[in-house]
Amino acid sequence: MNSASEDRQTGSTVYVVDDDDSMRAAVSNLLRSVDLRVEAFASAQEFLDCRKTHLPSCLILDVRLRQESGLALQQDMVRGGVRIPILFMTGHGDIEMSVRAMKAGALDFLTKPFRDQDLLDAVTHALARDAERLAGEQGAADIVRSYASLTPREKQVMTLVVAGLMNKQIAAEMNLSEITVKIHRGQLTKKMGSRSVADLVRKAEALGIRPDVSQKAKSQ
């Protein structure tokens, strides 16, 4: 296997849940033929019990299972906070079933028999979507960690900066010298990894910071 294939193999996982042994094997073999890592299960419970990767992944799920239905598993995943994209497949699908699945967040709905390329295209799209989700979550976690590293005074200065106050106004609000404000502002900007006020405002919004500026500062 070449390095590109190894990257794909270790960088994502496709889960397959289908109680039809032959279909489960066929789908798994197709995915492995393009160097994707596959974990296959015969029941919804087996999938729920498995340890999930924190890398991009998706679930190919049969709607009709002998024990818990695919739609019920979808609801279990929502309740459990498992947010990976779901691609439903069925040989007995109807409009109502597909509408229910899509409203609950399914990414696609494939009717058996489907073309191999249609499934591969759907999986490629699902893995890309999950990679975007994970990147967004990682970015949000990084912002929270950066903010936690600020001192209480740096947090206060940040709130006033994103409220649109100039250094002179912040100094008056906090009863500090302007040079002290500049030092705090430089430190917090570095810790937050922001190169502009606009970026700092975006990160403050992500943190849920709502500036509350006193009348004194507003009148400066």
pLDDT digits (tens, 9 = 90+) for 158-213: 999 999 999 999 999 999 999 999 999 999 999 999 989 999 999 999 898 877 65
The answer regarding whether domain 147-218 maps to CATH 1.10.10.10 reads yes
- 5 has pLDDT over 60: no
| Residue limits of CATH 1.10.10.10 in the chain | 147-218
126: Cα within 13 Å, side-chain hemisphere: 27
Cis (ω within 30 of 0) for the bond into 85?
Answer: no
- 7 has pLDDT over 60: no
pLDDT value of position 212: 64
| Residue limits of CATH 3.40.50.2300 in the chain | 3-138
pLDDT tens-digit readout, 45-77: 999 888 888 899 999 998 888 777 888 899 888
The whole-model pTM stands at: 0.69
Single-letter code of the amino acid located at 35: D
pLDDT value of position 118: 94
Calculate mean pLDDT across residues 74-92: 87
- 94 has pLDDT over 80: no
Of 3.30.1320.10, 3.40.30.10, 3.40.50.2300, 3.40.50.80, which CATH number belongs to 3-138? 3.40.50.2300
- 6 has pLDDT over 60: no
- 12 has pLDDT over 50: yes
Taking a C-beta distance cutoff of 8 angstroms, is the pair 36, 14 a contact? yes
Closest to 13 in 3D by CA, of 47, 44, 42: 47
Q: What's the mean per-residue pLDDT of the chain? A: 86
